[in-house]
Amino acid sequence: MAMALSGELFEEPLTISDSARADALACLDTWDYDTLALQEASGGHALLLVGEALFERHKLHEPCHVDRAVLHRFLRALEACYGDHEYHNAMHGADVALGVHHFIVNFGLTARLTKLELLAALVGALVHDFDHPGTNNGHEVRAGTERALMHTDAILEHHHLHSTFKLLAVPDFDLFGAMPADDRELCRKLIVDMVLATDLKMHNDFTSTLSTLAAQHGATAAGALPSRENFTSPFQAQALVGVPLLLAVALKFADLSHCFKPFHIHKHWVERITNEFWALGDRERQLGIAVSPLCDRDKDSNVPKSQIGFFNFICVPFYSIVADLIDPTMLPWLRVQANLQEWGRRR
């Protein structure tokens, strides 16, 4: 981050092709968005292009008092300082921002949000894993890291927020600098709540909350299957799903979204997270501490088996409920099921 804060990052002009910018715009209009391909086409600037394209598409600059030059500098600094781990990097930040965009737009939820809430949703997605160390919360505790001493709970999630607000504290990168104080405070609170909701320790409680909602207001409870003609999603009603819950669901939906990509794209992301996990396991052996789950390259070498477990314990419970609450025929839920079946064939 020192390079960005010193201004060294901006000493050389940035050249990005028109075709790469067109690719970024295309990602906004399809569930098959491929951020890995965009990263290559743009020479490593997928997050910058996605961030700028999203702000333009949703017309956020003037209503939210965001200067385009400040946004550009913020996104470049975010991109440069995200970290170079195989999975938790700027590409993942861009990918998740696209996932949040698609959740809000494709499920007809744009009208539920003010421009400021929409800005918070997109920025929260972009920064949700900022400055990721390639570890997990259990490792941070076992290794006794400085992060674990500073943040006693949801260690990495608090670290991502701390790093983000440290960057925003620099006037040249302060997206919120021209906002009225109340808007700035609201934006900050929404981003904090979103990022903290990505802590996997909360996953079961989060899924349970959605299950309770679905039991009363889901498509199955409404008897709306398979036609859905008389079904209105509770996500359309402020009284049933407030904005903080809507944004938390959107971010979790997007954070896990590689599982509903076309299988060839999904597989590339799986290869990346697997290599990152194994690299962490290697570090843990060197430190003489317990190796994190799924991080032992010798014992956890059956990738299809690991993915089947990931789908069955994390993805299927979450996406099945979200589908019941929004649209049981949604493409992402159908893809989750298809990709799980494909891993079963490869086991």
Q: CA 59 to CA 11: how far, in whole Å?
A: 29
Q: CA 53 to CA 93: how far, in whole Å?
A: 14
Tracing tokens 């995200």 back to the chain, one arrives at: 82
Check: CB of residue 197 under 8 Å from CB of residue 248: yes
**1 annotated among ligand-binding-site residues:** no
Omega prior to 226 cis, within 30 of 0 = yes
**137 annotated among ligand-binding-site residues:** no
88, 101, 132, 217: which is the annotated catalytic residue?
Answer: 88
Specify whether 88 is catalytic: yes
**296 annotated among ligand-binding-site residues:** no
Return left, alpha or beta for 83; rule: phi > 0 is left, psi -120 to 50 is alpha, else beta: left
Pick the closest to residue 193 from 260, 140, 240, 242 (CA basis). Answer: 242
**128 annotated among ligand-binding-site residues:** yes
**327 annotated among ligand-binding-site residues:** no
**312 annotated among ligand-binding-site residues:** no
Q: Which segments of the chain does DSSP mark as H helices, in order?
A: 2-6, 18-27, 35-41, 46-57, 68-81, 90-106, 115-127, 137-143, 146-150, 155-168, 181-196, 203-217, 243-255, 263-287, 303-310, 316-326, 331-346
Q: Which residues are annotated as a binding site?
A: 88-92, 128-129, 255, 307
Positions marked catalytic: 88
Q: Which residues are annotated as a binding site for AMP?
A: 88-92, 129, 255, 307
Q: Which residues are annotated as a binding site for Zn(2+)?
A: 92, 128-129, 255
